Amino acid sequence: METAEGRARAFLSGVILAAGASSRMGRPKQLLPLRGRPLLQHVLDAAAGSCLDEIIIVLGHHADEIRGALQLPPSCPVRVVINADYALGQSTSLRAGVRAADARAEAVAVLLGDQPHVTARLIDTVAAAFLAAGSPVARPVHLTADGRRIPGHPVFLSRQTWAVVDALRGDEGARSLLTEHPEWLHEVPVAGEPPRDIDTWADYSSTLKS
């Protein structure tokens, strides 16, 4: 694929983290129905509609059930990776996703499987800023109407950062990486509220009403 300047665009992989046990909800939140589709399907469809060149879905708890409920979009290559160590924390899923990235990938975009309101437009906005800035890491910062600055996802991690990702343990994720290397971060201002995480039944009920 060529940019307007005639250069080949970087190959970008998307990693959707969806291996958790949904312990606060008592059932796999990835499968909760939302506007006629499983909650995780919304994230997958947004990623498939974006500029990402491949999508890696990291599953763990109830992996077979969740995989069976998903419709893999034909518009983008999708692979499912099973993280048998998901109970040891999010770092295990992040490592599994990064390790599964295509050999051509120059970066991965980390998405959360419980943010059904993420959009292809947001992914593309952060991707464009990441590629233009040339920084090792980029993430959106949502500027809300009441003056808050809320960091969010997707977080783009260049191949330069992957050795550090591979050393993460427990529930450490991109936040721990940035604590160690704040100089790597490029923040992308985005107006409005960030996509909401669905962690509790109250979160889900609010999402159904929105």
- The gap between the terminal CA atoms of the chain, to the nearest Å, is 37
Q: Which fold has domain 11-209?
A: Spore Coat Polysaccharide Biosynthesis Protein SpsA; Chain A (3.90.550)
* CA-based R_g, the chain, Å: 16
Rounded-to-integer distance, Cα 18 and Cα 30, Å = 7
Domain boundaries, the chain: 11-209
Sites in the chain below the pLDDT cut of 70: 1-8
In the prediction, which pLDDT does 190 show? 96
In the prediction, which pLDDT does 8 show? 59
Rounded-to-integer distance, Cα 54 and Cα 81, Å = 13
In the prediction, which pLDDT does 3 show? 39
In the prediction, which pLDDT does 177 show? 83
Q: Are 161 and 105 in contact (CB under 8 A)?
A: no
In the prediction, which pLDDT does 7 show? 40
Q: Are 188 and 125 in contact (CB under 8 A)?
A: yes
In the prediction, which pLDDT does 31 show? 95
In the prediction, which pLDDT does 64 show? 95
Rounded-to-integer distance, Cα 83 and Cα 106, Å = 23
